[in-house]
A and B are shown apart, each in its own frame.
Chain A
Amino acid sequence: MPTLYDKVWSDHLVGERADGQSMLYIDLQLLHEVTSPQAFEGLELAGRRPWRIDANLATPDHNVPTDRRELGLAGIADPIALEQVVTLDRNCQRYGITEFDIRDPRQGIVHVVGPEQGATLPGMTIVCGDSHTSTHGAFAALAQGIGTSDVEHVLATQCLIQRKARNYQVAVHGRLGAGVSAKDLVLAIIGRIGTAGATGHTIEYLGEAIRALSMEGRMTLCNMAIEAGARAGMVAVDDTTLEYIHGRPFAPVGARWDEAETYWRSLVSDPDAHFDSVLELDAAAIVPQVTWGTSPEMVIGIDGAVPNPARLDGARADGVRRALEYMGLVPDQPVTDIRLDRVFIGSCTNSRIEDLRAAAAVIRGRRVAASVKQAMVVPGSGLVKAQAEREGLAQIFVDAGFEWRAAGCSMCLAMNPDRLQPGEHCASTSNRNFEGRQGHGGRTHLVSPAMAAAAAIAGHFVDVRKWA
């Protein structure tokens, strides 16, 4: 009996190539400025054209500055970054691909924009030259990150060539406690299975705790499936899914909606579906999480302390020692003793309206600690920004001493001017704490929006559950 992944896979299977690999039909390709230029160039050099224009949607996000947005392209100070953004504009204009460019209020992080527009729909196959494409799996879509050669391949053929992955079930029983979010849940999962734990698999998250999550929470969960090694994470369709999509600009309407809904309702794993691996978790046991090291699996609860390599065996001890040295932490240091220089609330993991609401609820009426040099909020899209301004959230952030920025990837990967200085500790709602990820020598601690907000106020990590 098929899993959700099996169903979406077989509904898109074109067939096998002569070499035995599967051809999977792709419904939607999301494009951004960093991984697409070489693909368009390759297409052109080979004298090929995109197979299906209306299956593509583009927006610049990685490289765009998050201030002086009113200047449009003129606000991009770095000429090389500018060339990349202009190249995306030019490629989209040339082929007639829908693009939300830097001046468009709908511009934003590609993984925030797709769902927000209703371009991401249940049962779709989605690709993007970005590993966090897994985000869209929250809609029971099969969404995968691909390299630039595959971006070109999908542009040219509308197919992705691959072999089917195995099925990995993550079942989360019970309910998350107050102050504990989807971010804490996914960090706890990665802490359990490791960054290669689900390599070669597609994860399906299911169970009571998942059903109770909003779409924003499910997106956070699927976003970080790649951090557990899985190329895709998925959540089955339910009322929450359909309510989120209904009425969005690209979503079907009327009779076509009804027809789609009938199909979408079937997008759940059969009760006796076979999973190759299973992880069961008790949601109630999960506490707010903080990463202490240089890999998302190096994570502990807020009530814990960083590990001591002296108590570990050979290879693991080396890895821990190296990470502690890079992070400037000492063995057995309590997490609440880690002091922060900067705080970043944003990224495709946690920059949606619900994330900003959670952070604002903690911040309201408080001030960023004097020891924190910079605290910034970068909404995931221009529309999230506008909504947060309407709801008064922006004012709460500004009153507390946060910078309120325009949409983009920003300090998640520090390709634009927003970045850490060497040695600085940052509480970040993003998804990767690799060495140098947020700036050369920078030290990233991954946390939920509420935890980042509380850390900004206190100047060090605190258990946000005690602030409720």
Chain B
Amino acid sequence: MNPVRIVSGVVAPLDRANVDTDQIIPKQFLKSIRRTGFGDYLFDAWRFLDEGDLGMTPNERRINHDFVLNQPRYQGARILLARENFGCGSSREHAVWSLMEFGFGCVIAPSFADIFFSNCFKNGLLPVVLDAALVDELFRLATGPAPLELTVDLPEQTIRLPDGRALPFAIDADRKRTLLEGLDEIQLTLAHGAAIEAFEARHRARMPWLFRSNHQKGASSV
């Protein structure tokens, strides 16, 4: 994962609550066995009027010009502004992959669904939880006469506005470090390999029925 420090750019306002992962990346795209190639299909049923499928490119699609992300002023946006419970629904990490590939580096919302929130940190998408009243204000600014540009500064934990204000945001210290250093999560855990092995040995002794290899004659794999 690439380290994340500062995300700055235009804010795209998506004024809907409970945006679910089926909307972020519809299921027909989950057939791919790859980690990439999802950016063209972000919010597919909203961005396009026709039904999309893997392999289609945006220039052969019927664009929904009413959808906010298709408006010229939000092209190249780096920050997605959303409402509460963003990313609810399925565990599909494709939702995070598609947002990032589309160009977003940060999502600001009053609240996020748990699994989506956790998936963000595995990939370097910065989810910022902000008070609902401040999110309201950002929506007003982002839909105002000129596009809103923000700088989200992770080391400082602030969102800098064009008028010079800096809004502080909270973030779990460990998760912050993971993003800042672009750490390999698996490596971090494997550093505790001896502790895992020791736990496993105790666990096997205490609850031997949990280890199929202890008692399962039928299982073909062991």
A residues at B contact (CB < 8 Å): 12, 14-15, 17-21, 23, 25, 27, 34-35, 37-38, 41, 46, 48, 51-55, 62-63, 78, 80-81, 83-84, 87, 96-98, 121, 123-124, 129-131, 145-150, 152-153, 156-159, 161-163, 195-196, 199-200, 229, 231, 249-250, 252-253, 256-257, 259-260, 263, 295, 315, 319, 322, 413-415, 432, 434-437, 440
Chain A residue nearest in CB terms to B32: A80
Those of B172-188 within 8 Å (CB) of chain A = 172-174, 177-178, 185-186, 188
Residues of B within 8 A of A432 (CB): 20, 22, 89-90
- Nearest first, the 6 closest Cβ-Cβ pairs linking A and B are A149-B122, A37-B33, A147-B93, A252-B209, A147-B119, A196-B85
Question: A149 and B113: CB pair below 8 A?
Answer: no
Interface digits, B141-175 against A, CB 8 Å rule (1 contact, 0 not)?
Answer: 00000000000000000000000000000001110
Bound Cα distance from A196 to B122, whole angstroms: 22
CB distance from B137 to the nearest CB of A (A): 15
Question: A25 and B188: CB pair below 8 A?
Answer: no
Bound Cα distance from A454 to B146, whole angstroms: 55
Question: A19 and B22: CB pair below 8 A?
Answer: no
Contacts A21-B174, A413-B27 given; does A54 touch B211 at CB 8 Å: yes
Beyond A38-B33, A53-B221, 15 extra complex contacts between A and B, CB < 8 Å:
A25-B196, A41-B35, A130-B91, A145-B115, A146-B115, A147-B119, A152-B186, A157-B196, A200-B114, A250-B212, A250-B218, A257-B209, A413-B27, A415-B27, A440-B26
Bound Cα distance from A249 to B218, whole angstroms: 8
Question: B89 and A256: CB pair below 8 A?
Answer: no
CB distance from B161 to the nearest CB of A (A): 24
B residues at A contact (CB < 8 Å): 16-18, 20, 22-23, 26-28, 30-35, 45, 51, 54, 84-85, 88-94, 96, 111, 113-115, 118-119, 122-123, 172-174, 177-178, 185-186, 188-193, 195-196, 199-200, 203, 207-216, 218-222
Bound Cα distance from A52 to B221, whole angstroms: 11
How many residue pairs bridge A and B at CB < 8 Å?
208
Question: B189 and A153: CB pair below 8 A?
Answer: yes
Question: A131 and B91: CB pair below 8 A?
Answer: yes
Residues of A within 8 A of B199 (CB): 14-15, 25
Chain A residue nearest in CB terms to B20: A434
Residues of B within 8 A of A158 (CB): 196, 200
Residues of A within 8 A of B196 (CB): 14, 23, 25, 51, 157-159
Q: Which of the residues A83, A96, A121, A153 comes within 8 Å of B185, measured between beta carbons?
A: A153
Bound Cα distance from A157 to B190, whole angstroms: 6
Bound Cα distance from A115 to B160, whole angstroms: 51
